[in-house]
Amino acid sequence: MEQRKTIMEKITDRVIYGNDTSWNMDIERFDWGPGVGLYGIWKAWQATGKEEYLRFLEEWINRHLKEAYVQKTVNSTAPLLTVLTMWEQKGNEAWLRVCEEIAAFLLEKAPRTKDGGLEHTVTEAGAGFSQQMWADTLFMVCVFMARLGRVTGDLRYIAFSRRQLADHLRVLRDEETGLYFHAWDCAGQNHMSGVRWGRANAWILYSTALILSAIEGTEQEWRQFAQSAAAMRAVQRENGAFGTILNDPSSYDEISATAGIAAGMALGRACGVLGREYDLSIEKALQAVSAAVGENGEVGGVSGGTPVMPSAEEYRTIRIQPTLYGQGLAAAALAEAGRGKTENAPQSSAVR
């Protein structure tokens, strides 16, 4: 455990003390990559208590908070999850006010697909992804909304997160394998290339556990989570990793997917939903994640930013590079695996 704490600190320090300006590792932006990186720092602070981590987050928020209004998109919402958790810690009411104002936009004005799901909107210029629902949205928006509902007592946010979770799981689930597709095209009523992308499944499993633990998920909701975890466990590789295409043994090991799935399983264990049979899966996944961390704390084996690709072959050839979301998910996985039993677990162990 002490060794993993040291690895977590190396991963986190690489983000805090780096001076990167490339898109994939530049944390000085209000976007989804930095948002996942910030959440990893928050989880590392919870696990280590290192005040320098908390200080970095506070200073980052003070530098960037006004940027929350520049682009109101799914992806630019991601940093607000850490802003909200920092408000819980520090009580700065200006931080909460921004969270509630962006949440009001999401409730009332954010683009919806004709199926009722949030349209996956991004910060990059271009045509966008009209009428598309992506697995990524659950982490970028719905975890934040669930937690906001919990800490404020506003049931609108809880209802929103519960509905969006249910809608995304419904349209993205592959009934044949129990795994999830990357996205759903509501206009064409199809999954486009139909790939069971590794990181999409990581977003889904970890986000579902975070959302349900925040909103006190029902037994049925937790049961569906457990079924998803079982489907992913069935395609885990012998070395503990998960592939960039989960059901394709020829695709490369992908460490951000491995970390996100491990984080979801570890939180499921802490909530009492998953049984002891998952301990070995989590342990092997963490070994794969730890082995991918370089001496400088950089997490290797992470695929670059990935829109819905036209074919499975194009998923297999996505460039490997260090990324903030790779750093954040790796830190989160190590932190989740080190936590004890959590509150808001379901009342019955029958969900297993």
Distances in whole angstroms, Cα of residue 138 to Cα of each of 66, 71, 109, 193, 195 = 23, 18, 18, 20, 18
Q: What is the DSSP letter of 252?
A: P
d(CA 334, CA 7): 9
| Residue 245, SS3 per DSSP | strand
Q: Are 334 and 45 contacting, i.e. CB atoms less than 8 angstroms apart? A: no
Taking the C-alpha atoms of 72, 198, 127 and 116 in order, what is their torsion angle to the nearest 10 degrees?
-60
Phi-psi region of 192 (alpha: psi -120 to 50; beta: other; left: phi over 0): left
Q: Are 102 and 145 contacting, i.e. CB atoms less than 8 angstroms apart? A: no
Which tokens hold the place of 286?
């963490």
The beta strand positions in 95-242, using DSSP E, are: 132-134, 183-185
Which tokens hold the place of 277?
């049979």
Active-site residue (options: 136, 167, 253, 279): 136
Q: What is the DSSP letter of 67?
A: G
Strand partners, 185: 132, 190
Q: Are 141 and 164 contacting, i.e. CB atoms less than 8 angstroms apart? A: yes
d(CA 52, CA 48): 10
| 154 in active site | no
d(CA 300, CA 314): 20
| Residue 132, SS3 per DSSP | strand
d(CA 176, CA 254): 23
Strand partners, 303: 320
Residues involved in catalysis: 136
